[in-house]
Amino acid sequence: MTLLADCIDFCATHALSESAFGRSSVNDPALLSKMRRGRQVRAVTEERVRNFMAAYCRPVSQVIALPPDLAREMLPHAARRSMTVGQLALRIVDMCVDSDLIDAVMDDGPPAG
């Protein structure tokens, strides 16, 4: 994969906006948009970006880590609602819990107890 593709997948997986990613990794909120327009990054910049991704850690309670393919599938639904994929995923989970729908959604048999 290219650096740009790796960054996009990272953002989707960690529910991180592209501007926040650029700002946090190399202090350039437009990093990914510049790369999309063909900007080549220096080796030292790529190393900083990859080191940022390798070291990145958020508490599980603050983020739902999604596989990149699932995040891409959710993207149009999130965009229609002016949300990030992470916000949409968290909202879906929240609604399932609040509406007591976990057993209905999981369809894995009667609740234990």
How do residues 7-30 score in pLDDT, each as one tens digit? Answer: 998 888 887 889 999 999 999 999
Radius of gyration of the chain (CA): 17
How do residues 45-88 score in pLDDT, each as one tens digit? Answer: 999 999 999 888 765 555 667 888 998 999 999 889 887 888 88
Rounded to two decimals, what is the model's pTM? 0.53
Q: Which of the four pLDDT bands, split at 50, 70 and 90, describes residue 105?
A: confident
Whole-angstrom distance, CA of residue 17 vs CA of residue 21: 6
Cβ atoms < 10 Å from Cβ of 82: 7
Read off the tokens for 37: 């327009």
